[in-house]
């Protein structure tokens, strides 16, 4: 990963909304480890880089499988 997990957790609140692979509804705050468990390390790295480059208060990423991930800047 480009940024360390402590750096991402320190700068962002990560909210996940939608349905997971088993069909359960998700609407909660997660850390980097929870994000990696849900979407994988490749996508977590990609979205964290985009969130650091974003100049707004939040960065929203939507996956095709129905999961919406929001990075709120602290």
pLDDT tens digit sequence for 11-68: 999 999 999 888 899 999 999 999 999 999 999 999 999 999 999 999 999 998 899 9
- As for how many domains the chain has, the answer is 1
pLDDT value of residue 1:
87
Q: What is the domain extent for residue 23?
A: 5-73
Q: Give residue 21's pLDDT.
A: 84
pTM, whole model, 2 decimals? Answer: 0.93
| Residue 9 per-residue DSSP state | H
| Structure-token pair, residue 71 | 């990075």
Contact 73, 11 (CB under 8 A): yes
Of 66, 32, 28, 27, residue with least CA distance to 51 = 32
Phi and psi dihedrals of 60, rounded to 5? -115, 130
Distance CA 10, CA 67 (A): 23
């Amino acid at each position: 990963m480009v940024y360390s997990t402590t750096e991402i957790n320190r700068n962002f609140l990560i909210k996940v909304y939608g349905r997971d692979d088993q069909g359960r509804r998700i609407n909660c705050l997660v850390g980097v480890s929870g994000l990696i468990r849900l979407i994988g390390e490749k996508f977590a790295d990609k979205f964290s880089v985009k969130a650091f480059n974003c100049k707004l208060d939040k960065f929203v990423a939507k996956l095709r499988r129905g999961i919406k991930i929001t990075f709120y800047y602290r």
